[in-house]
Chain A
Amino acid sequence: MSRYIATRAIRGANAIVAEAEAMVDDAIAELGPDTPVAFTNTAYFLPVVYAFTGRKIEKLGDLPEVIARAKALLHPVPAESMWLPYLGETLDSGVATLFAEEAIEGVRFARKLEPQIIQLSHAREDGERFTGSDLMVHGDKMKLNGPIDDIQLRAWGIQLVDGRMPGFCAVVGCAKSNEVAVKIVRELQSRGILIFLSGNVNGRSIIHQLQEEGIQLGYDTFTVPFGLDTISAVYALGFAARSALTFGGMEAGQARDIMLYNKYRVFAFVLALGEVDDLKYATAAGAISYGFPVIADTRIPQILPTGVTTYEHVVSMPFEEIPGADDMERTEKLIQRCIEVRGVKVKIAKVPIPVSYGSAFEGERIRKDIMYAEFGGKRSHAFEFLRMKPADEVEDGKITIHGVDLDGMNEGDALPLGMIVDVSGRKMQTDFEPILERQFHYFINGVEGIQHNGQRDIAWTRVSKNTFAKGFRLEHFGKVIHARIHEVFGNIVDKVQVTLTTDAAEVDERIEEARLAYAERNERIANLTDESVDIFYSCLLCQSFAPNHVCVVNPERVGLCGAYNWLDCKASFEINPTGPNQPVPKGIVLDPVNGEFSGPNEYIHAHSNQTVDKVTFYSIMESPMTSCGCFECIMVLVPEANGFMIVSREDPSMTPCGMTFSTLAGTAGGGMQTPGMMGMGKYYLTSKKFIPADGGMKRVVWMSSNLRESMRPALEEVCVREGDPDLLDKIVDETMATTVEELLPLLEAKGHPALTMDPLF
């Protein structure tokens, strides 16, 4: 916590509480203690006081108690030599400030001075200009809104809670110019953010600025003028308190719960425009105690660590120092930063492209005769590369095109294409890069008249004549990627920018950059071992048809369906914390050889309806993992051969165990634990943790030929690693043997190692 901010906030709080006390005393003396105190059209009394303390303030005579509570929260201004933490004191002062400000507004209501009526610089000819309930201009006077009434609270509150409205912004002060004021409002409105206006700098307020520019203020435009002073900003916090009471299931008096509710669910922030005085610091401290960060367009000390707010507490962005061609660009960046600091998520309703979009188009084939142009494939090369970047290096929604666009190509042409996607996000991790990148295939294939194959540096995209004719251009690839990443990965990604290049030299240069990253990723995944992590992940997706089956995915074994590896599960949990992939702590190692851990045992027991209480990760003979039915392959013991056979889903032939894949599937699936039989993903074969307890690859005596041929290079590497480079061809397939009687002599002839290994049981 900045000592400077603490000092000024505490000083401001002391001053405003003293002022409030004097005002309350005067009002009681003048009007009597029974004079009613009520905000307009609300059942929540003075809402901050009511929410935090449970006290219902109904008349002037109730206010001295509010002042007393505010005083109890005050602290002395830190001395020059004081270097202790003062966060607590500052937050207390903030709440004291809010109490005092509400008391002052209460007195003003008792005196009928609220909502404020302001003088306009020049009279309007057209009379009533504003559409909000009470908001009216008469001649050169304008009546401001004051607090939000309960009906509007309910309408907006529901939208804030259900996510249709991303958040609200309390703008306090006065913008650099009228033009900037308008731009601020437009930027916020375009994101659906609710705007509350209050405060002034030297008597001039953003309310004046907007009014002069003829901007509609009121409920209908989501832009509500509270009052010309900082004190009226308390209405924004009253609004937040009431929405917690109405839609958060809170009771008045649950101060802590109400503040936490606002921190985690109400995406609000304060934008302080112009000079920040003591009272603004004090009010800001009140906002921070709700978890609402403060962004100032002037130079003030920053509070960057997180804690009371989800991200930074106080951010300073001196307006003149924001990089940008003009004030409009500076304003855009200011608002973008506000949104990042609060973690407001962008929503894009529809992919903005000139052709249809949807999963129905995923399977389209664009043949030569209907093709307009292609990128990658046989005639050119193309790559796709997603990388994580720091937030300040990514401009959300920015799409850059280098080189020739589609309309500069001739029908039937092929060009190289590089697609570089930069993302940033508070919860983004380098590990998630390949997971996002892999989705490009689906994202792009969803476009009508586009065919996409491959990934990384073997990407291949075709655009149909029809789609080109409808106006599809390179930038639309960017728009698709931008919209879909926000939609699917909104929980981990905040910003996305896309660069597309068809410039051959640039593609050649940047493809190398991408290849380095691909190699690094491969290495990272290869180095990811069961020992290097503390957490495995569960997958319960298949319980709908295999109720007792629980997958636990570890770094060195892909899920048996082949679709989910450990990183996928980890990302899935970040994206959907209540979803089917949950973290499973490894716990204590119970058996290092068979790979038995206390954490997975407990988890599996609890989630298999208490039917499975022990699973090992490194053996098929000892409590193997159960299977749902989605396995890519089934591995089965062949006792006579002292080894295992592996049959793939694509292989319809008879196998040496006397059953075909489909017959075996009935026995292996359904969540039953059968020693000697297990479903598996085919890439498990390449893992160092492929049944190590039972002898690994050397135990494989029979394998479907399509499996062996499709994975030959990877499997040959495994055989080398296992110290038997010729092993792969010692393994028999269905073209050589479909019975044990045929299998055994072949194994003898080939000198298969399993025959001489220790007996399996």
Chain B
Amino acid sequence: MTAVEIPVEKWSGAVREVTLGSSYGGGTRTSTVTVGGETSLPFLGFEGALPHRPALAVEVVDMKPADWSPELVATWGDDLSDPANWAARAVEEGADLIALKLRSCHPDFGDRSATEARATVDRVLAAVGVPLIVYGPGTADKDNEVLVAVAEATKGEQLALGLCEEKNYRTIVAAALGNGHLVIAQTPIDVNLAKQLNILISDMRLPLERVLMDPNTGALGYGLEYTYSVMERLRLAALMGDAMTQQPMICTIGEESWRQKEGRAATDVPEAWGELAERGVAWEVTTAMTLLESGADILVLRHPGSVGVLREALDDLTKGA
């Protein structure tokens, strides 16, 4: 019998290692998360190094979300009304990181001030020991105002600040530079735009070891294959040695999959769709698994059930690696 020889691809490039959270120099985290460092495509441990397994973040919003799926509302219950409790519970459920969204600072959803935002971030930092990702409310001017204030107040915590977009990255990058944080660079599902934003950010002299890229995510059935393909190309370019594509990738899986009909509708759907609770988690997990295979390094999730399933899957996939 002849032994089957598994062809092994040798890559010249590697994904950059990026560490979130710090326990010294102003940082108060009890754990940190390092992602990246891959020298092969996902989970092909026989081809190269996969030093860090992908991290699971849970999304926490600073106000009770009015438009979330009933399944998520039921699962989190009262914790939805208090970001500190919510974050603490998320960590109990297995989150490696908390992704805090400062939604209530949005002019249309409460318009809370930068000072209030700082207080919220402080409370969440006090409630958990894991690193934090902090997203602004999602409008350029307010993002700048809020994130700069948060960045200054949390100097040294090594937060990841989001989102930096092409039209609006300079202020957030400057805030990260001045206070030892990371940034999340988001571009609309395009390899060259992702690359360009990384160039622009590193041009401001923020070390690329402090940049995560969010290539923008579509959910299962809503453009997932397009995202998959763009992420795959980014990762292939990174492994081929293109320095400006070598950032670890972060995907907002929960937000995308739970806003679709499949994650929200409990009634008036075909019987074959099954129960919402199971279906919603399945939708989130399937989206997540797909993007893990295309190189995702941090998954931002909404349902605690998904965290558990994905943790098991990652245990399996990284066995022996």
Chain A residues in the interface with B (C-beta under 8 A): 154, 157-158, 161-164, 246-250, 261, 540, 543-544, 547, 578-580, 609-610
Is B115 close to A, CB under 8 A?
no
Q: Is the CB of B178 within 8 A of A154?
A: yes
Contact among B171, B190, B200, B206 for A578, CB-based, below 8 A: B200
| B192 in contact with A158 (CB, 8 Å) | no
Residues of B within 8 A of A157 (CB): 174, 178
Whether A544 contacts B205 by the Cβ 8 Å rule is: no
Q: Does B174 contact A161, Cβ atoms closer than 8 Å?
A: yes
Contacts of A163 in B (CB 8 A): 170
Supposing A544-B189, A609-B233 touch, asked if A158 and B148 sit within 8 A by C-beta, the answer is: yes
- Contact pattern, B 186-203, Cβ under 8 Å of A = 1, otherwise 0: 000111110010011001
B255 within 8 A of A: no
The 8 Å CB contact of B203, one of A544, A547, A578, is: A578
Collect the chain A residues with CB atoms within 8 Å of residue B171's CB. Answer: 158, 162, 164
* Contact, CB under 8 Å: A248 / B190: no
Inside 8 A of A250's CB, which chain B residues have their CB? 205
> Which residues of chain B (207-227) have a CB below 8 Å from chain A?
207
Bound Cα distance A298, B229 (Å): 64
CB of A340, distance to nearest CB on chain B (Å): 24
Task: For A154, give the chain B residue with the smallest CB separation.
Answer: B178
Residue among B178, B203, B229, B237 making CB contact with A247, cutoff 8 Å: B178
Question: CB distance B233 to A247 under 8 Å?
Answer: no
A579 near B174: Cβ-Cβ < 8 Å: no
Give the CA-CA distance A725 to B279 in the complex, in Å: 71
* Nearest-Cβ distance from residue A652 to partner chain B, whole angstroms: 29
Subset of 27 A-B contacts with CB under 8 Å? A154-B152, A154-B178, A158-B148, A158-B171, A158-B178, A161-B170, A161-B177, A162-B144, A162-B170, A162-B171, A162-B173, A162-B174, A246-B177, A246-B178, A247-B174, A249-B177, A249-B205, A540-B192, A544-B189, A544-B191, A544-B193, A547-B233, A578-B196, A578-B199, A579-B196, A609-B233, A609-B236
Binding site for A on B (CB under 8 A): 144, 148, 152, 170-171, 173-175, 177-178, 189-193, 196, 199-200, 203-207, 229, 233, 236-237, 240
- Give CA–CA (A164, B200) in the complex, Å: 17
Distance in angstroms between the alpha carbons of A362 and B193 in the assembled complex:
27
Chain A residues whose CB sits within 8 angstroms of the CB of B148 once the complex forms: 158
Which partner residue on chain A sits nearest B144 by CB separation?
Answer: A162
Nearest Cβ on chain B to A118's Cβ, whole angstroms: 33
Interface of B is mostly: helix
Residues of A within 8 A of B178 (CB): 154, 157-158, 246-247
Contact B196 A158 (CB under 8 A): no
Residues of B within 8 A of A247 (CB): 174, 177-178
With the chains together, A158 CA to B204 CA distance in Å?
Answer: 12
B18 to chain A, nearest CB (A): 16
Do the beta carbons of B190 and A544 come within 8 Å of each other?
Answer: yes
Expressed in whole angstroms, the Cα–Cα distance for A580 and B171 within the complex equals 24
Tell me which residues across on chain A come within 8 A of B206, comparing CB atoms: 249
Chain B minimum-CB-distance residue to A576: B196
A241 to chain B: closest CB distance in Å?
15
Inter-subunit contact B200/A543 (CB<8 Å): no
Q: Determine how close the nearest CB of chain A comes to the CB of B179; give it in whole angstroms.
A: 8
How far in angstroms is the closest Cβ of chain B from A661?
Answer: 25
- Top 10 nearest A-B pairs (CB, nearest first) are A162-B170, A249-B205, A162-B171, A161-B174, A544-B190, A158-B174, A246-B178, A578-B199, A247-B177, A247-B174
Closest A residue to B237 by CB, please name it. Answer: A609
CA distance A164 to B171 in the complex (A): 9
Interface-centre pick from B144, B178, B200, B233 (highest chain A CB count, 10 A):
B178
CB distance from B6 to the nearest CB of A (A): 23
Chain A nearest CB from B46 CB (Å) reads 23
Q: Which residues of A contact B189 (CB under 8 A)?
A: 544
| From B175, B207, B229, contact of A249 by CB (8 A) | B207
CB pair B205–A580 under 8 Å, yes or no, is: no
Minimum distance in angstroms from B162 CB to a CB of chain A = 16
- Enumerate chain B residues within 8 angstroms of A154, measured Cβ to Cβ: 152, 178
Q: In the bound complex, how far is the Cα of B194 from the Cα of A540, in angstroms?
A: 13
Contact A248–B177 (Cβ < 8 Å) = yes
- State whether A158 and B191 are in contact (beta carbons under 8 Å apart), knowing that A249-B206, A578-B203, A609-B237 are contacts in the complex: no
Query: For residue B240, which residues in chain A have a CB less than 8 angstroms away from its CB?
Result: 610
Residues in B with CB closer than 8 Å to A162 are 144, 170-171, 173-174
Contacts of B177 in A (CB 8 A): 161, 246-249
Cβ–Cβ contact A543 & B207, under 8 A? no
Which A residue's beta carbon lies closest to that of B207? A249
Cβ distance A540 to chain B, nearest Cβ, rounded Å = 5
A261–B203 alpha-carbon span in the complex (Å):
11
A285 to B193: give the CA distance in the assembly, Å: 42
Min CB–CB distance A252 → chain B (angstroms) = 15
CB distance from B154 to the nearest CB of A (A): 14
Q: Which residue of A lies closest to B204 (CB)?
A: A161
Known: A158-B175, A158-B178, A544-B189. 14 other contacts (CB 8 A): A154-B152, A154-B178, A158-B148, A161-B204, A162-B173, A248-B177, A249-B177, A249-B204, A249-B206, A249-B207, A544-B191, A544-B192, A547-B229, A609-B237
A248 pairs with B205, CB closer than 8 A? yes
Closest chain B residue, CB of each to CB of A246? B178
Give Cα A579–Cα B236 distance, bound, in whole angstroms.
Answer: 21
Chain A residues with CB under 8 A of B233: 547, 609
- In the assembled complex, the CB of A26 is this many whole angstroms from the nearest CB of chain B, namely 38
Task: Note all chain A residues with C-beta closer than 8 A to B200.
Answer: 578
Q: How far is the CA of A261 from the CA of B205 in the complex (A)?
A: 10
In the complex the two chains form, what is the Cα distance from A163 to B200 in whole Å? Answer: 14
Residues in A neighbouring B193, C-beta threshold 8 A = 544
Residues from chain A with Cβ under 8 Å of B173 in the complex: 161-162
- Bound-complex Cα distance A580 to B166 (A): 14
- State how many angstroms separate the Cβ of A622 from the closest Cβ of chain B: 28
A162 to B191: give the CA distance in the assembly, Å. 24
* A160 CB → nearest B CB, Å: 9
Q: Which of B144, B152, B191 contacts A547 (CB 8 A)?
A: B191
Given the complex, which residues of B lie within 8 Å of A579, measured CB to CB?
A: 196
A248 to B174, CA, bound (A): 8
Closest to A248 in B: B205
Which of B152, B192, B203, B236 is within 8 Å of A543, CB to CB? B192
CA distance A247 to B236 in the complex (A): 32
Alpha-carbon separation in the docked complex, A389 to B103 (Å): 50
Give A264's nearest chain B residue, CB to CB. B203
The residue among B174, B175, B236 with the most chain A CB atoms within 10 A of its own CB is B174
